[in-house]
Amino acid sequence: MPLGTPPRSHHASAIVLSQVSSSSSVSSVANEASVPIEVLSAAWRMISRFGLQGMTIRQPRDSWESLTRGSLASKVRMVAESSDTLQARPGQAPAISDVDLAELSKLDTEEVFCAHMTRHLQAFCSDGYVVINSERLAWTTGWKPDFFIAHKKCYDAHKPPKGARLGRNAADKFGVPYRGLLDSLRVCEAKLDMKPSDLAELWQYLNSLPDGESRGMLFDKRSFILLTAAGKCQQKFPTRLLEGEWRTEGSFDAVRAFLAVQSHSERSLHAALQHASVQLLGFLGSGSFGRVFHVYNETRGSCAMKLVNDEKLARAEVASLQQAVQQGCPVAQPISELEAVALGNRHCFYYLSTPVGQKLSQTDAATRLEDVLDCLHDLHKSGIAHGDARLPNLIVNADSELLWIDCLHTGLATCVTVQSDIETLVRSLGASAQLLAQINADSLSNQTFREALQRDLHAWTY
């Protein structure tokens, strides 16, 4: 039965792939559920390979055509059709030369293999991107992928772990990704000799990354697998799989092209950097609806770039900050209007602000508690509510003054919004539930409350 032909009946509401105990029982299960055998066969092959038995293909209520457009079955069929083996392209460079492969073949531990592979992986990277070793540094639900690839300014660098092999390249980098940028990296997992079950490990890494497309590479001393997954976090499905050998002619370009594909977030960032004529210095953090980067150019100097997708919220935030600046409130100052950047048939938006400042830790905030509370109280006395008065939205400038960033509330402050601000700040400071229950809109004017909060945080800190 061709894909797209209505099934004989719609009585079965779902196919549970765990019913299929082997490839020989695919036919009977497909028959019973009135689903094309080629669809279920493709599903069984791919599900088995990724170790995902027990997943369900649900038939829609409306039509078989919608199943072929968007369901798990159609996605499985698509990946089955797009799974391929890399074909040689005579005259083009292999990913790794025979001389280097001979050297790799002599290695007998995975850690040594990773050390030797770092320079090869780096050669595949686009300009500005680096290979970071994370084999001893857990960062995704307790797992430790051997490597990830990210922008050289956008990862949390660590010193080489204790006991890391001597003789690693002095330029080798160790670290973990920033949580706010997990959708902008590629995961690489090394094995001395790949086994079929190893692909499931790479799959688990990709499946735990944020919504959208994720890319990863599994490799050993002879070959590699390039895997693309798409969908929601923990509900992804493989959409492309390419297997190849390092010595195959043309494999260098194939791997490099695979790793060069950028996420929407990466494309937005690079487009905004180019539009603003600034260079990227680092990642500052992610807010309620955007990400903030440290940027620089000779005209503006050092400033923060906030990159967002929601134009309405961004315009409201810029307006709120500008209003607060005009009233002399302690906030970061926008130094540009909200700018729109075309990105295909979509747009991203950004604005620049100054100063960049430094984040305030909970410990430092407890030490400067009066200053922290006064900083929020000054906003409220000017009739402005913040809307997201968490500690991460408070920075320290070069003169040790506290400033708010990411103002979300528009319009005049009310008792409700003021109390919400205070609760948000006190909660982010680490106060107890008992103290949180005492908060009202006048708490910042109440010295008794301030002293109680100081005692509460002192008990938590010490």
Domains of the chain: 14-81 (no CATH), 98-261 (no CATH), 266-354 (3.30.200.20), 359-461 (1.10.510)
183, pLDDT greater than 80: yes
Structure tokens at 77: 């069929």
Average model confidence (pLDDT) across the chain: 84
Max intra-chain CA distance, the chain? 80
Q: Is the peptide bond before 90 cis (omega within 30 degrees of 0)?
A: no
The CA distance from 45 to 58, in Å, is 18
Cβ atoms within 10 Å, residue 161: 12
Of 315-319, 401-405, 446-450, the one with minimum mean pLDDT is: 315-319
The CA distance from 102 to 166, in Å, is 22
Region of 430 please: left (phi>0), alpha (psi -120 to 50) or beta.
left
Q: What percent of the chain has pLDDT over 70?
A: 78
The CA distance from 182 to 176, in Å, is 10
Split at pLDDT 50, 70, 90, the class of 107 is: very high
Structure tokens at 5: 């032909």
Cβ atoms within 10 Å, residue 462: 6
SS3 180: helix
Over residues 10-31, the pLDDT tens digits come to 333 344 444 555 555 656 656 6
The CA distance from 162 to 158, in Å, is 11
DSSP tag of 182:
G
SS3 96: coil
pLDDT given at position 143:
78
Of 41-45, 308-312, 398-402, the one with minimum mean pLDDT is: 41-45
Structure tokens at 68: 């072929």
Q: Which amino acid is it at 386?
A: H
Over residues 246-283, the pLDDT tens digits come to 999 999 999 999 999 999 999 999 999 999 999 999 99
Q: Nearest-5° angle of CA 86, CA 221, CA 178?
A: 85
Mean pLDDT (whole number) for 358-381: 94
The CA distance from 140 to 183, in Å, is 12
Mean pLDDT (whole number) for 337-349: 92
pLDDT given at position 151:
97
- List, as one string, the DSSP characters of 18-33: GG--SGGGHHHHHHHH
The CA distance from 145 to 189, in Å, is 6
pLDDT given at position 136:
87
Nearest Cα to 69, choosing from 4, 158, 1?
A: 4
33, pLDDT greater than 50: yes
pLDDT given at position 234:
85
410, pLDDT greater than 90: no
pLDDT given at position 351:
96
SS3 402: strand
424 backbone dihedrals φ, ψ, rounded to 5°: -60, -45
Which one is predicted more confidently, 413 or 151?
Answer: 151
Residue 433: which H helix or E strand, with range?
A: helix 433-436
Q: Which amino acid is it at 346?
A: R
- Listed in sequence order, the residues at least 6 apart from 406 whose beta carbon sits closer than 8 Å to its beta carbon are 287, 288, 306, 317, 388, 393
The CA distance from 156 to 158, in Å, is 7
DSSP tag of 93:
P
Over residues 69-79, the pLDDT tens digits come to 344 445 544 55
pLDDT given at position 15:
44
389, pLDDT greater than 70: yes
pLDDT given at position 396:
96
Q: Nearest-5° angle of CA 315, CA 318, CA 319?
A: 85
- Listed in sequence order, the residues at least 6 apart from 172 whose beta carbon sits closer than 8 Å to its beta carbon are 115, 118, 133, 160
According to the annotation, is 306 in a ligand binding site?
yes
Split at pLDDT 50, 70, 90, the class of 371 is: very high
169, pLDDT greater than 80: no
Structure tokens at 393: 């939205």
Over residues 54-92, the pLDDT tens digits come to 444 443 333 333 333 344 445 544 555 567 889 999 999
pLDDT given at position 206:
92
Q: Are strands 214-219 and 186-190 parallel, antiparallel or unpaired?
A: parallel
Cα atoms in the 13 Å half-sphere on the side-chain side of 257: 7
Cα dihedral across residues 135, 93, 98, 243: positive or negative = positive
pLDDT given at position 13:
34
pLDDT given at position 240:
87
